[in-house]
Amino acid sequence: MEILFEASGGVGLVTLNRPQALNALTLGMVRALDKQLRAWMGDPNVRCVLIQGAGDRAFCAGGDIRALYDSGKSKSGTLTADFYREEYRLNRLIKRYPKPYVALIDGVVMGGGVGVSVHGSHRIATERTLFAMPETGIGLFPDVGGSYFLPRSPGRVGFYLGLTGARIKAADCLYAGIATHYVPSGALGSLIDALRKNAGDAVTDVVARFAVSPGKAPLEQDRDTMDRCFAESSIEAIQNALEADGSEWAKGARTAMGEKAPTCEKVTLRQLEHGRTMAFEDCMVMEFRLSQRAMAAHDFYEGVRAAVIDKDRAPKWRPASLAEVSDADIEAWFAPLPGGDLDFS
């Protein structure tokens, strides 16, 4: 079974159960989780939901991009629309869930894994947490609600994370608002037991008894440079500001951006700027539009080829440079979909 469910002691426990694939989400997992969350929502015997990943490497490393690649390349079936539509509806269900939703983010969490954790009421990082939104490196954009939560991180932290795909650990996850608590990995089993045994206590109080400080966030030391450089209004201007700064941190950020798909970098900057002032549901409608434009474009298939299939790490983006990507090209990604936009019915 790709996903497991268990309810006891007032706790509904979800286990993403594809450890060999770093618990990457399939459409079947999305559908099963959506159905179970709705059932638990109306079950008086379930007062909170916990979600965890199987194995000791990952909470969830993302969506099953190989399946999307295969479906899109063969032009067979409707997976490239169905997966994103149902995944985004699930993200919204978690965001609006009426009961405490506790994500145990122990290990790698990227892409789709962020979508089934970051919107929950309690997001627990451990010393093994490794977060990233690396989508622009495979011809996508930071989705699953990235347009909502990234620009709401302090200053321009979310813009930095979305445009560079930077990997961060627990202390930075708390600093950025991605996680709400830090609990050592070895204490998670005791935390689950305590939630089951203390049904009369508020979930927040139980979690607080296990939470400790993760230490100082490395992101803090570069915040001034980050806020200044990533406040520029174009990708070119951000890169120029990083180059002019000249620090090792700025050079690293500049290099990371230069490796990403030029179109997706420009799409992402506009997406995050729009998302700063949009309601969550409106962000998801926007992201569904972007997902379908990405599925119809060259860069996603080239990015997955280079990262997952041939593993040569040498994608040939099309267009290959920022200068070749016009404002009109980017605007077209945000236009309403001819077949109809995402709805939440």
Six token digits for residue 154:
């302090």
**pLDDT at residue number 113:** 98
pLDDT score at 47: 96
What's residue 276's pLDDT?
97
Q: Is 110 helix (H, G, I), strand (E, B) or coil?
A: strand
Residue type, 209: R
Is residue 50 one of the residues assigned to a domain? Answer: yes
Residue 254 covered by a domain: yes
Q: Count the domains in the chain.
A: 1
- Give residue 308's domain range: 3-333
| DSSP structure string for 227-252 | HHHTTSSSHHHHHHHHHHH--HHHHH
The catalytic position among 63, 113, 139, 162 is 63
Residue 24: closest CA among 54, 56, 69: 54
Domain assignment present for 212: yes
The catalytic residue among 10, 53, 72, 112 is 112
Active-site residue (options: 135, 172, 222, 265): 135
63 is catalytic: yes
Query: What pLDDT was estimated at residue 76?
Result: 84
Active site residue 112: yes
Q: Please answer whether residues 164 and 256 qualify as being in contact, where contact means their C-beta atoms are separated by less than 8 angstroms.
A: yes
Whole-angstrom Cα distance, residue 140 to residue 268?
9
User: Any catalytic annotation for residue 135?
Assistant: yes
Q: Which of 64, 87, 106, 143 is labelled catalytic? A: 143
| Cα dihedral 72, 78, 80, 84 in deg (nearest 10) | -170
With beta carbons less than 8 A apart as the criterion, state whether 289 and 336 touch.
yes
100: cis peptide before it, omega within 30°? Answer: no
Whether 344 is in a domain gets the answer no
Cα angle value 171/172/176 (rounded, 5°): 125
Q: Are 296 and 280 in contact (CB under 8 A)?
A: no
User: Is residue 271 included in any domain, yes or no?
Assistant: yes
Inside any domain, residue 338? no
Q: Which two tokens stand for residue 108?
A: 């790698």
Integer angstrom CA distances of residue 135 from 37, 76, 296, 314 = 27, 24, 16, 15
Q: What's the residue count for the chain?
A: 345
Task: Classify residue 293 by its DSSP letter.
Answer: H
Evaluate whether residue 339 is within a structural domain: no
What is the model's pLDDT at position 329? 96
- Work out the number of other CB atoms within 10 angstroms of the CB of residue 6: 10
| Domain CATH code at residue 258 | 3.90.226.10
pLDDT averaged per 10 residues in sequence order, the chain, 345 residues: 97 98 97 98 97 97 95 92 98 98 98 98 98 97 98 98 98 98 98 90 95 97 97 98 97 98 98 98 98 98 97 97 97 97 93
Q: Is residue 343 part of a domain?
A: no
Would you call 200 a catalytic residue per the annotation? no
The answer to whether 256 and 165 have CB atoms below 8 angstroms apart is: yes
